[in-house]
Amino acid sequence: MDDLRERDQIETQYKWATEALFETNDAWEEEYKAIRKSVEEDPFASYRGHLHEGPERLLQYFQTAESLGERLGKLQIYAHILADQDTRTSFYQAMQSRIQMLGAEFAQKDSFFEPELLSLPVDQLDGYVHDEKLRDYQHVLDNLIRNKPHVLSDETEEALASLHDVLGSSGQVFSQLTNADFQHGAFTVDGKEYIVTEGRLGLLLRDTHRTVRKLAYEHVYDTYLHHKNAIGSLYANSVKADVRMARVRKFSTAREMALFSNHIPTTVYDALIKGVRDNIGHQHRYIELRRKVLSLDHVRLYDKYVPLAESSFDEYSFEQGFSLVQEGLRALGDEYQEILKKAVDDRWIDVFETPGKRSGAYSTGFYATRPYVLLNYQGNYNSVSTLAHELGHSAHTYLAGKTQLPQYSHYSIFLAEIASTVNETLLVNHLLDMTKDPLARATLINQQLDNLGATIYRQTMFAEFEQNAHRVVEEGQALTHDSLSEMYSTLNTFYHGSAYAEDERSTAEWSRIPHFYRAFYVYQYATGMSAALVFADRIRKQGESAAQKYLGFLRSGSKDYPLAVLNEAGLDMTDPQVVTQALTIFGQLVDELEELLTKVK
């Protein structure tokens, strides 16, 4: 901490402009009190029980909810970014806690809306959808009305709401068990002690000393295997809860229920798995290349993450890193360049690490604010890539907010990572264009392949595992730790090929994945990455016409369902060819890496 500058020592241009939201904390406090008074007086009292009275009343409800939601949103963003810029300051943490509680109270007062609306007769709802007064809310209403067959009686909905925490308890217990209770111990190699934690495992698995990797792996997985029966029961109960809730809500499968909220047909899930399985050979070749380069009989799970090539890159000042991002994204055109310039000029970005600042990086904001980007910029290439990533989210938020009506200015999780990944891909391609040194190129391509493989191949394998596990329960059979490990091992072997070897520990890898307690979520990482690779490839090869289609996607927000938004931009995610195109690029990178590694050995 001693080498970090305090926040008041950081130049203003490197700090985000909180004053654009509220000039002072006192101004925030004044607005907070005004909104609190409105919420306490119940802004929805005149609408509760009156939605049947006609389109005018419904329009008034929308306008009231939107106005208060916008004001609450500004309060939340301000408190959120202040709390993150210095997590040590109790005043900011209290500010964030207060607005979270007020937001929850607002949501509770507003909770009547969907059940009451969907209790109306079908012909009245259809009339609302097609009423000219509600034209700007047509898609909102259409999306809400889709839920009608799956909304139960008031009494049942109230009972299910009261059981929400209980139904999600498996994931909560898993988190407490693995994050708070598990201790993985330590080991010594060549006189150096290594303390093993969940957070350090990723770094230890990148160590060039195989014994270090192996022992770190064994320490963590032995802890999980020691608790195998408890973890097996937790996940089995989580799957059973998903299946039973799907039946209660009148869905044919748990997968259908999970995809329903984003209006994603199960054919998209199927297309992803088919596209990946049809192109598994590229992954097998990469694992075989890894086996050869590391001189192994077989690649083990603890050999998958060690770099095959390492070159030191230049250090970049923030200005140099930002300039590199600008150059890398030049193909997106002048409007996008203006947005990047605006991000610096209008101080969207909080650049440097300071004592107490939250770690990591993110982009936040919505249509009524500018985007706000948190960085902990270190001057290395990873920091530059992170800058490009977060500015992708920011540009998406900015363009959708500027183009769409407020109710359509957000975008779904299914689409969220596309914009950030397109930026990362364009940036690395630009750097490769500038880089002739074989070792530097090999390092960049190795990193890119590991990222793509971890996102497309690995997350699709996870998606297939989830599907298989839920199918077992839907067919009336039981899940155990052993049956889950056998199921996972079969997939692991297929996805990695003959150069890879399993052991008892690696078959239990599924038991470490917290995302499995949020069923049928991870497939979106793979679809998003696939879409981003295809977009970036088209922009690179086709130039302005492809860039304009892509910018149209960024402007679309949620004006339509996610698949329709992508279709308009030229991508059909129900067609396995999108994944095939993405993995063809993966295969080309494997070819080049293999050739480069022969030059640097």
Nearest to 287 by CA among 493, 505, 588: 493
Handedness of CA 329, 331, 336, 337 (dihedral sign): positive
Cα–Cα distances in angstroms (integers) from residue 400 to residues 65, 407, 557, 559, in the given order:
20, 11, 5, 9
Torsion (CA) 79, 85, 87, 90 in degrees, nearest 10: -50
What are the helix (H) ranges across 329-404? 334-345, 381-403
Q: In the annotation, is 158 catalytic?
A: no
Q: Is 314 exposed, middle or buried (0-12, 13-18, 19+ CB in 10 A)?
A: exposed
- For the chain, the residue count is 601
What is the C-alpha separation between 561 and 415, in angstroms, rounded?
Answer: 10
Q: Residue 431, Cβ neighbours under 10 Å: how many?
A: 19
Largest CA distance in the chain: 78
User: What are the tokens at 502?
Assistant: 């399993």
User: What are the tokens at 62?
Assistant: 């929308």
Strand blocks (E) in 110-238? 186-189, 192-195
What is the C-alpha separation between 423 and 190, in angstroms, rounded?
Answer: 42
What is the C-alpha separation between 348 and 131, in angstroms, rounded?
Answer: 40
Backbone angles phi, psi at 521, to 5 degrees: -105, -40
Which entry of 288, 390, 424, 502 is annotated as an active-site residue?
Answer: 390
Nearest to 463 by CA among 505, 524, 412: 524
What is the C-alpha separation between 283 and 302, in angstroms, rounded?
Answer: 17
**Tell me, what amino acid is at 525?**
Y
372-374 and 349-350 strand pairing: parallel
Backbone angles phi, psi at 559, to 5 degrees: -65, -20
> What is the separation of C-alpha 239 from the centre of its chain, rounded to a whole number of angstroms?
22
The DSSP 8-state label assigned to residue 500 in this structure reads B
Residue carrying structure tokens 């029980």: 49
Helix or strand (DSSP H, E) at 489: helix 481-496
What is the C-alpha separation between 457 and 448, in angstroms, rounded?
Answer: 13
Give the 3-state secondary structure percentages of the chain, helix then strand then coil, rounded to 5.
70, 5, 25
Q: Residue 569, Cβ neighbours under 10 Å: how many?
A: 20
Q: Is 270 exposed, middle or buried (0-12, 13-18, 19+ CB in 10 A)?
A: middle
What is the C-alpha separation between 261 and 48, in angstroms, rounded?
Answer: 25
**Tell me, what amino acid is at 107?**
A
DSSP string, 314-329: PP--HHHHHHHHHHHT
What is the C-alpha separation between 23 and 26, in angstroms, rounded?
Answer: 8
Catalytic residues: 390
